[in-house]
Amino acid sequence: MKQCLFLFILPLLPLLFHHSAKAQVSEEEFNALKAFYDSTGGDGWDDRTGWDFDETTPNDVTSAWHGITVSDGRLRILDLRQNNLQGTIPPEIGDLEYLEILALNSQEGQQENANNLSGELPDVFENFTSLIFIDLSRNNFEDTIPGTILGLPNLRTLFLSRNNFSGEIPPITGLDNLERFNVSGNNLTGPIPDEIFNLAALRQLNLGHNNFTGPIPNEIGDLVNLTELSLENNDLVGEIPEQIGDLGELTVLDLSRNALTGEIPPEFEALNKLEELNLAFNELESDEFPAFIYELTSLEKLYLTSNRLAGEIDDEINQLDNLERLFLANNEFVFVPALNLPVLKRLYLQNNRLHFNSIEHNWDLQPQLDDFIYSPQARVGVEEDYHNIVYGEPVELMVNVGGEHNIYRWLLNGDPVPGADSDTYTIESFSREMAGVYVCIITNLQVTDLTLLSDPIEVEYAGSIEPTVETTPPDPGDITAVSAFSGGRVTDDGGADITVRGVVWSTFAGPDIIDHEGITTDGEGTGPFTSHLTALEPATQYHVRAYATNADGFTGYGEEHIFTTMPESRIPNAFRPDSQIPENRTFKPADLNMASLQSYSLEIYDRWGNKIFESAHVDDGWPGNVNGNDAPAGGYIYRIGYIDLLGNRHDFEGVVMLVR
C-alpha cells in the first residue's frame, strides 16, 4: 500500500532538480551509464530517449534523458522501471556514487515491457552513501543479497522482492534510517536476523514468501513504529509472540502460511488500528473464538482460514462495521450468528462444523456479497456408542443439526433404510441384519448447495440370544412301553441361524443338551419338527422338552412336559383253550393291572367283522367261543384300548390265532 503510493510520487522527483538539468556528469558516471546501457540491452528498451552514446559526451547527459535526473553535475536518480531491461547490472554502476534513487523494478500486474534483469547483483554499494531509495523488485536476480547494500546509512526504502535471491540475509551493518524493507518472494533461508529488530525507524517489514525458519523472536515487539508486518509463507514455527501486541501502530499483520502453533495471543486486543489480520494456514488452536477480535473495530480483512479454531462465534462480531472480508474456512467452528456487517463482500465458511441454521439465517446476505462459500461442511458428529448391541435390544440413532427446512435420509451400508426420514431412527428390536454402517444424509430446501453427512455410525452386533422354542407334548396314542413321539416348533432363531434342534428327555426334571438321558437331532432352521423318542423304559415317568441351538451357540428350550410309558404288555398272537398252561387258555394282554388303569376294553371280531366278544376288565379274556359254543380255529381280529392313570389313552389292534 505505502510502496505503491511512493512510486506514484517518484516521477515528480526530477522537478526538484530542474535548476541543474544541463549540468554535465563526470566521465566515470558517463562510462557507467554506457556500461549499464550495453549490459541491460539498451537498444531494446521501451523508452531510450537521450540514450545515444555514439554522438554524446558527459556534457550531454541531462535530465532530458529518460529515467535520469541530474543535479549539480551529478546523477541523482536512475528510474528505468517497466522499461524492458534485460541482462545483468554491470559492476560499473558502483561509479554512480551520488545516486539517491535507484528504481529498476517492474510494476505489479503489468507484463508489457516488464524488466527482467538477472544474474548476481554486484556488491558495489559501499560508496552509495546518498542512496535513500532502492527498488529492484520483480526481476530475476540470483545468488545472495550483496552485503554492502545492507550498510547504507541514509537508505529509507529497500525493495528486493520477487527475485531469486537465496541464502541467509547478510549482516545488517547500517540501515539506521530504513523505514521500508521488503525482500519477499525470494528463496532466503535461516532464522530472521536479530539485527532487523534494531532498525527502530522501520514502518514496513515484509519477509514473506521465503524459507525463513525458527520462531518469531520476541524482539519483534521492539519495532514499535511498524505499520505493516508481513512474514507469510515461510517455515516459521512456535507460538506467536505476545510482544506483537506492543505494535500499536500496525495496520497490516500477515503471519499466514507458516507452522505457528498455540493460541492467538489475547494481547492482540491492543492492535486497535489493524485493518488486515491474516493468520491463515497455520496450526493455531482454540476451543473458543478469540474474543479480542470483536474489539478490533478497524478491521477490514480477517483471514483465519485453515487452523484448528473451534467454538461458536458471538453476535459481537457485528461490531466490526468496517469488515469487508471474513475468511473462517477450514476450521472447526460450530456456529455463526446472523451477520449484520454493512460493507461485507466476501464470506468464506466452508469446511467447518456448521449446520444449516448458521447458513439459513445468513441466506439474505447473498445479494450483498461478491462471494459466499459455505459448502462443504464436516460430517455431523455422533457421540453415542453403538458397539456390542445384543439381539432384540432397541437402538436409537440420532443426528443433531440445526435448520428449519431439513430433509433426512438414513442409509445402511449405502442402501436407503425404508421409512427412516427424520433426525432420529429407532430400531425397536435389533437383529443381525440390522448391523452395519449407518449414515444420515441431510439436505435443506433453502440451502440447496449444501449436503450434510453424519459421521459413519458403526452399529456392531454383539451376538444373538437364546432361540424361542415350543415343545409338542407326546400324543398318548403314540406312547408305548418303549417309545413315544414328541417334537416342537422354533418360533425365533434368537438372531442367528438354527443349526440343530430336537428334544431332550430324562427321568428327572429339566433335561438339557448337556444333562439328559436321551436326545434327538431333527434338522435345522425355524418351524415345526417331530421327534421320535426310543429306548424308553416301560411304565416310567419321563420329562421331555424341545430345544434349538443357533449359530452363535445359544440354546433355547421349550416348556417341559411329563409323560409315562406304557407298562410292558405282551399281547399273545395265538392261544389254545385246551392248553395245559392256564395263562394260554384265554386271549388277553399280559402284565396289565386294573389298579394302574382308569378304563379298559377288549373286543374280538370274526373275519366278517362281527363282534363276537368284549370285556371291560383285564382279567376277563376271550375263551375262544361264540355265544357259548366253541369257535372254529383260525384268525380273529382284536382291539384293545385303555386309559392310564395320567389320562393317556392307548389303543392296539391285531390278529390272534385260535388253535384247536
CA 451 to chain centre: 14
Rounded CA-CA distance 632/646 in Å is 39
Residue with cell 440343530: 500
On the question of pLDDT at 227 being above 90, the answer is yes
Chain mean pLDDT for the chain: 93
State whether residue 614 is helix, strand or coil: strand
More confident: 461 or 328: 328
Pairing of strands 436-444, 406-412: antiparallel
Instruction: Identify the weakest region by mean pLDDT among 98-112, 142-156, 592-606.
Output: 592-606
Q: Can you say how many angstroms the Cα of residue 467 is from the centroid of all Cα atoms in its chain?
A: 39
Helix (H, G, I), strand (E, B) or coil at 445: coil
List helix spans (H) across 298-421.
356-360
Element (H or E) spanning 271, and its range?
A: none
Whether residue 21 has pLDDT greater than 90: no
What residue has cell string 551509464?
33
Mean pLDDT, to the nearest integer, of 201-217? 98
| DSSP class of 105 | -
A 10 A CB-CB count for 141 gives: 22
pLDDT tens digits for 80-135?
999 999 999 999 999 999 999 999 999 988 999 999 999 999 999 998 999 999 99
State the amino acid at position 76 in one-letter form: R
- Backbone torsions φ then ψ of 337, nearest 5 degrees: -75, 175
Q: What is the identity of the amino acid at 483?
A: S
User: What is the number of other CB atoms lying within 10 angstroms of the CB of residue 342?
Assistant: 10
In whole angstroms, give the CA distance from residue 497 to residue 417.
23
Q: Rounded to an integer, what distance in angstroms lies between the CA atom of residue 333 and that of residue 288?
A: 8
Cβ neighbours of residue 652 closer than 8 Å, sequence gap 6 or more: 571, 589, 638, 639, 640, 641
Find out whether 520 and 544 touch, Cβ atoms under 8 Å.
no
Q: Which pLDDT belongs to residue 13?
A: 42
pLDDT of residue 431: 87
Backbone angles phi, psi at 295, to 5 degrees: -90, -10
CA nearest neighbour of 577 among 636, 633, 498: 633
Q: 562 in helix, strand or coil?
A: strand
**Phi, psi for residue 88 in degrees, rounded to 5:** -125, 165
Please state, in angstroms and rounded to a whole number, the distance separating the CA atoms of residues 418 and 396: 15
8 A C-beta contact, residue 614 and residue 622: no
Structural Rg of the chain based on CA atoms: 53
Examine the pLDDT at 294 and tell me if it is beyond 90. yes
Rounded CA separation 658/636 (Å): 7
Strands (DSSP E) found in 345-467:
346-348, 371-373, 389-390, 395-398, 406-412, 415-416, 424-427, 436-444, 452-453, 457-459, 461-463
* Assigned C-alpha cell, 604: 374280538
Determine contact, residues 325/339, Cβ cutoff 8 Å.
no
- What are the CA-CA distances from residue 215 to residues 168, 202, 222, 223, 256 (Å)? 16, 20, 16, 17, 14
- Which domains occur in the chain, in start order? 1-142 (3.80.10.10), 389-463 (2.60.40.10), 468-564 (2.60.40.10), 574-658 (2.60.40)
Task: Provide long-range contacts, Cβ within 8 A and 24+ apart, for 147-151.
Answer: 147/123, 147/171, 147/173, 148/123, 148/124, 149/121, 149/123, 149/125, 150/174, 150/175, 151/125, 151/126, 151/175
Q: What is the pLDDT of residues 565-582, one digit of tens each?
A: 877 767 888 999 998 888
Chain-centroid distance, C-alpha 97: 63
Residue 309 has pLDDT above 60, yes or no: yes
40 and 89 Cβ atoms separated by less than 8 Å: yes
pLDDT category, 651, cuts 50, 70, 90? confident
**So what's the pLDDT on residue 333?**
97
Q: Rounded distance, CA 493 to CA 482, Å? A: 32
SS3 content of the chain, % helix, strand, coil (to 5): 15, 35, 50
Cell triple for residue 382?
455422533
Provide the 8-state DSSP code for 51: -
37: amino acid identity, one letter = Y
Residue 572 phi/psi, 5° resolution?
Answer: -60, 150
| Residue 645 identity (one-letter amino acid) | L
Please name every residue paired with 228 in a beta bridge, in sequence order, or none if there are none: 204, 252
pTM: predicted TM-score of the whole model, two decimal places: 0.74
Cell numbers that stand for 467 in this block: 432361540
Where is pLDDT greater, at 545 or 538? 545
Cell numbers placing 346: 466476501
Nearest to 356 by CA among 407, 283, 297: 407
23 has pLDDT over 80: no
> What's the grid cell of residue 461?
452386533
Q: Grid coordinates standing for 474?
A: 407326546
Predicted confidence (pLDDT) per residue in 373-418, tens digit: 999 999 998 767 788 899 999 999 999 999 999 999 999 999 999 9
Q: Percentage of residues in the chain with pLDDT exceeding 70? A: 96
Q: Could you give the CA distance from residue 71 to residue 507 in angstroms, rounded to a whole number?
A: 130
Mean pLDDT value of segment 44-48: 97
Peptide bond before residue 193 is cis, with ω within 30 degrees of 0: no
Find out whether 174 and 195 touch, Cβ atoms under 8 Å: no
Read off the DSSP letter of residue 632: P
Contacts of 499 (CB under 8 A, 6+ apart): 524, 549, 550, 551
The CA distance from 121 to 141, in Å, is: 6
- The residue among 387 and 438 whose pLDDT is bigger is 438
Handedness of CA 92, 97, 103, 105 (dihedral sign): positive
pLDDT tops 80 at residue 17: no
Q: Residues 517, 537: contact at Cβ < 8 Å?
A: no
Angle at 563 (CA atoms; ends 557, 569), nearest 5 degrees: 145
Cα(560)–Cα(546) distance, rounded to whole angstroms?
Answer: 8
Q: Residue 602 has what pLDDT?
A: 96
For residue range 485-513, what is the model confidence (pLDDT) as tens digits?
999 999 999 989 999 999 999 999 999 99
With 60 as the cut, is the pLDDT of residue 257 above it? yes
* Minimum mean pLDDT range among 16-25, 219-228, 529-538, 586-595: 16-25
Picking from 645, 642, 563, the residue whose alpha carbon sits closest to that of residue 596 is 645
> Could you give phi then psi for residue 197, rounded to 5 degrees?
-80, 0
Give the residue from 230, 216, 172, 167 showing the smallest Cα distance to 196: 172
Alpha carbon distance 92, 86 (integer Å): 17
